[in-house]
Amino acid sequence: MEIKANLKALISSEDWWACWLGFTFFITSFLDYIKIVPKPKIWFLNPLESLSIEIVKTYLIIIIIFIIFYSLSLKIIGQNPFSFIPAFLTLSALGFLSQILSQQNIMNSYGLEYVVWALTIGLLIGNTFGIPRFLTPAVKTELYIKTGLVLLGSEILFSRILALGIQGLLLAWGVTPIVLYISYKYGTSILKIDKTLAVLIASATSVCGVSAAIAVAAATKAKKESLTLTISISLIFTEIMLVGLPAIIKALNINYIVGGAWIGGTVDSTGAVVAAGELLSKQAMEVATVIKLIQNVMIGVITFVIAIIWTTKIDQSSSNKPNLLEIWYRFPKFIIAFVVLSLISSFVILPIIGESNLNNLLKINGGMRTILFSIAFLGIGLESDFRSISRQITGGKTLNLYIISQLLNIILTFIFAWLLFS
């Protein structure tokens, strides 16, 4: 019966559909149906300066592709795809607006990424008017993020991991488990914070912010309020780090390669890492990006370990004797697709089409991931209640844990970066 249930889940579970959709969208770009990244251009006073016919056309093609396959998945799952379509079109338009706002010259120079604007738009609508009823069928936040994370797997190339040699591996993989463990113990043993919230915050600061928090939330069955709180704090501190860390590196005259490695290991968002690295130099940006990509590999490892620990030690409510099936049930399936797509990209696609063509393909995948994340963060904002978030922050323990965890990450990563790259 359990085997039959698992087979049924392959076509009836959103977690599995994130895998199938991620693979489908990757194949779509590989087959050259999408030729450019529909990213708005930098603008000054007139937002229309950011657009072109080609950008709008490509964006609409991607949205149509998304609608077709998401509607199909919802139909198979047993939901109504017809109410989904107008809602998704509206959310995708608002998501595109968040990208346009992030490209305003001044906003772009301060590193205010599209995720911040998407979250802000969602929060304003959700906390002013509530979620409009007609939008509800398309608010599939976790499904969009998980699909985007599967696409992220294609960008984790083993050739890039090896480019920085053992130094990159030691920095990206050496600091992460130390910060994760100490932060979790500090949060649960000293601050007495809920274990699930503590591990979400520890994962966000030690691995890669929102992406890690989403994966760990799935493994621990975290409450949506805890995940929203973690994401909100992570985004705020990411913006502070994006501007502050390059400024500190310049003020202290730290070697830019060391600075790039430091940025890659501490700034939570991949996009913010690129922006922060560029504030130093092109080489620093490249080092920072590779370190972050290596660190992103830890998403799968950390999630798997946490799924085992939560099943066997922390939350045994679902069975008296935790077993492998329970661990499998908790383990986020999109992590499997994340790893598989990384292997396919590294060892199948790269030898076939070459590095230059693969880089173009990954840029298109990155563009699709951006669209999905912009819609997802709109959904997070729409579903977030300021009052609920403020209640969780009351007392300062959550902020205390995040700040201490981030400071620990900053200090340890700098020591490793200085020893390995100076």
Does 62 have pLDDT greater than 60? yes
pLDDT at residue 142, rounded to an integer: 82
- State how far the Cα of 56 lies from the Cα of 97, in Å rounded to an integer: 12
- How high is the pLDDT of residue 326? 64
Nearest to 384 by CA among 190, 196, 175, 118: 118
Q: How would residue 19 be classed by pLDDT, with cut points 50, 70 and 90?
A: very high
With beta carbons less than 8 A apart as the criterion, state whether 277 and 286 touch. yes
Percent of the chain with pLDDT over 90: 36
- pLDDT at res. 344: 93
- As a whole number, the mean pLDDT across the chain is 85
Q: Is 41 exposed, middle or buried (0-12, 13-18, 19+ CB in 10 A)?
A: exposed
**pLDDT at position 393:** 63
Residue 164: pLDDT above 80? Answer: no
The residue among 188, 170, 180 whose CA lies nearest residue 408 is 180
The predicted structure's pLDDT at residue 297? 78
Question: Which residue bears the tokens 């309020």?
Answer: 225
Main-chain dihedrals φ then ψ at residue 56, nearest 5 degrees: -65, -45
Q: 85 or 207, which is more confident?
A: 85
User: Which of these, 22, 24, 35, 25, lies nearest to 360 by C-alpha position?
Assistant: 35
Tokens of 93: 């338009």
State pLDDT tens for residues 385-406: 766 666 666 567 888 999 999 9
**Residue 389, C-beta contacts closer than 8 angstroms, at least 6 positions apart:** 225, 228, 229, 232
Would you state the pLDDT for residue 308? 86
The pLDDT assigned to 232 comes to 82
Mapped onto helix, strand or coil, the DSSP state of residue 37 is coil
pLDDT value for 173: 85
For residue range 24-39, what is the model confidence (pLDDT) as tens digits? 999 998 988 887 888 8
Residue 115: count other Cβ atoms within 10 Å of its Cβ: 28
Tell me what the mean pLDDT of segment 122-143 comes to: 88
Q: Where are the alpha helices (DSSP H) in 112-223?
A: 114-128, 141-153, 158-163, 165-185, 195-203, 210-220
The total number of residues shown for the chain amounts to 422
- What pLDDT score does 408 carry? 95
Domain boundaries, the chain: 2-421
Measured CA to CA, the distance from residue 73 to residue 112 in angstroms comes to 33
pLDDT tens per residue across span 297-330: 788 888 888 888 888 887 755 554 556 666 676 6
Strand ranges (E), 244-356: none
Distance from the first to the final alpha carbon of the chain: 58
In this prediction, residue 127 carries a pLDDT of 84
